[in-house]
Amino acid sequence: MIELIQFPWSPFCIVQRRILEFSLARFKIINIPNTDRTLVWKLTRERYYQVPIVRDGRRVIYETGEDSQVIAGYLDSKFRLGLFPANTRGLQTILWRHIEGEIEGLAFKLNDIHYRDFIPPTERLAFVRHKERKFGSGCLERWRDEQAAMLRQLEEKLVPYEQMLAEQPYLLGERPRFVDFDLYGMLGNFLASGKYQLPAAHARLRDWYGRMTKARVTDFPD
């Protein structure tokens, strides 16, 4: 059985979890503490420490770079999900770079503001230390002060995706492709704390998110 090693709120973990759910494959979720990557380090033979990773029997699959989609590509090939058709490769690359840069960059900050709601007390010190080492002392308080501005920015940056859904149910057509799952993961992270909703101005995007939550590969016969 496939195993997904993850943090439940991680945007990139949500992407792969939703792909696995979509595939209807049997899989097991292994949640690890944000502060302890020992299992990931061990399974990757000390070559990787980020999440998610996937274990499929003796194979361990993980990303090879910030711009790789190794895990999604593996799942797509294994379960024949049609996530990366040849005629969308260039466009999907442009889109996922925007999704994983502009959208994720705001979404995770807005979620992290509420870290006390999803990080256990015993792990909060390490979580704050990690954030401050990467983004500077007081970053969480700064993001909290900038919350309203970041929400406006997120709404603005989602406009193109709202427009893409004007005449089709998914971003690139009649069925979900990888970028649908990618955007779903970033927005899933934004919504993880339960403190937010998708912008009211983006009605199509809200409907799309509901479709993506329920979509299964059997809904899209070849």
pLDDT on residue 35:
86
d(CA 163, CA 195): 25
Contact between 3 and 27 (Cβ < 8 Å): yes
Q: What is the pTM of this model?
A: 0.97
Q: What is the pLDDT of residue 174?
A: 97
Alpha helices in the chain (DSSP H): 11-23, 38-43, 70-79, 89-98, 104-112, 124-135, 139-145, 147-157, 159-164, 178-191, 203-214
* Residue ranges, the chain, pLDDT below 70: none
Site of tokens 């979620």: 111
The answer to whether 13 and 4 have CB atoms below 8 angstroms apart is yes
Domains and CATH numbers, the chain: 2-79 (3.40.30.10), 86-215 (1.20.1050.10)
Query: What is the model's pLDDT at position 221?
Result: 87
Residue 101, pLDDT score:
97
| Interacting residues of 51 by C-beta distance below 8 A, sequence separation 6+ | 5, 6, 7, 10, 12, 13, 32, 37, 40
Q: What is the pLDDT of residues 71-98, one digit of tens each?
A: 999 999 999 999 999 999 999 999 999 9
